[in-house]
Structure 1
Amino acid sequence: MSTDDTVRELLLVMPRLIGRIKRLPLPEQLRSLDLAPRHLSMLSLILLDGPLTVSQLAESLGVAPTTVSLIVSDLSRKGVLVRREDDADRRRRIIDISAESRPAIAQWLSPGAHAWRHALGPLTPAQQRMFVDTLLRYEEAAATAARHQA
């Protein structure tokens, strides 16, 4: 298969994939919260990795700690996230999903995580890394192209 054949296939599958993701039903409890993609990424990290500090979230998300703090403040006001002191360092705050919101968030995000595990499971760790690196290069190239069009 040539690179152009692969690009053609990806250009056909990507809109379907994105459409399916956008149609994931948002649980009733979360519908009024006006959640955006940046919230999805943060909630996914906390759901998969457990409670994290603002610095850990910022590093994983590739954004500034102040950006994470703003999102955390927004979601804390809405009752989705809770902050607590880090027992090891009282100056740090640990961010977690509230007990009330956890079931709805897990219901919302688990099908996507399950689908990724199904798709990536047959691959070796090196192949999985190559897949993620490829998506990251695509994201970078798409962002560069969008900046040049603006």
Structure 2
Amino acid sequence: MTADVPPGTAAPRATDRPGDQSPFALGLLLRRAHWRAQTVMTEALRPLGIELRHFSVLIVLVNQGPTVQRDLAAATGTDKAGVMRVVDDLERKGLAVRKAVPGDRRVRAVEITAQGMELFDMAHAAAEPQVGRLVAGLRAGEAEQLTDLLTRFAHPAGESARPAGEEDAV
């Protein structure tokens, strides 16, 4: 029992239902929201022949330019072996290439190709109607409010790095 719970009563239990007052409620809601968004975005990417794990690497390459695999792993919250498999897939599809890094012949930087950029843009077009499905139950202005709140929650002032081991799919 915690000090906040009156004697003789149990602490609220996490139920994953609307109105849950447990200390886990926010985390459970965020997990459920992530699953829902992941499902919808996976549907948008499927016709393009890629998965969210591929798209998350493409996002890093677009934002950062050529990136060594070690940094791709850190940026996507994926282990090194997982990133290598994703980069292998992207190379086979012609969406990215590995290039030697001057001064260190053991290290390769991954770079998005012109075909990868084209697919990246197509993915955004494909996702547009899907995002509408995600926010269809919100009132005017609430989608923007939700985005603002989640942005501040995910990127607190003064924090610049993602916690070790954090995984990211979208």
TM range (shorter): 0.5 to 0.7
1:21 aligned to which of 41, 47, 58: 41
Q: Deviations over 1:72-123 (max 9, x none)?
A: 12221221111111124232111011112212213314868xx8xx668856
Counterpart contact for 2:100–2:109, Cα < 8 Å? yes
Identity over aligned pairs, percent: 26
Q: Say if 1:16 and 1:74 are closer, same or farther in 2 by CA, change over 3 A.
A: closer
Task: Name the residue aligned to 1:40.
Answer: 55
SS at match of 1:91: strand
Rg (Cα) greater in structure: 2
Cα separation, 2, equivalents of 1:85 and 1:77: 18
Aligned pairs (5 A) from 1:91-110: 91-109=106-124
Cα separation, 2, equivalents of 1:19 and 1:70: 22
Cα separation, 2, equivalents of 1:90 and 1:40: 27
Aligned pairs (5 A) from 1:123-134: 127-130=153-156
Task: Name the residue aligned to 1:90.
Answer: 105
SS at match of 2:44: coil
Q: CA deviation at 1:40?
A: 2.0
Counterpart contact for 2:58–2:116, Cα < 8 Å? no
Specify the code of the residue in structure 2 equivalent to 1:44: I
Cα separation, 1, equivalents of 2:119 and 2:106: 30
SS at match of 1:100: helix
Counterpart contact for 1:55–1:65, Cα < 8 Å? yes
Q: What TM-score, normalized by structure 1, do the two folds share?
A: 0.56
Aligned pairs (5 A) from 1:1-150: 4=21, 10=29, 14=33, 17-18=37-38, 20-24=40-44, 31=48, 33=49, 35-109=50-124, 127-130=153-156
SS at match of 1:79: coil
Give the root-mean-square deviation of aligned CA atoms: 4.1
SS at match of 1:103: helix
Q: What TM-score, normalized by structure 2, do the two folds share?
A: 0.51
Q: Deviations over 1:5-63 (max 9, x none)?
A: xx59x58x83764554345366x7xx3x3x22221221221122211001111122233
Cα separation, 1, equivalents of 2:79 and 2:70: 8
Specify the code of the residue in structure 2 equivalent to 1:129: H
Aligned residues: 123
Q: CA deviation at 1:129?
A: 2.1
SS at match of 1:73: helix
Give unpaired runs (5+ residues) of structure 2.
1-18, 132-143
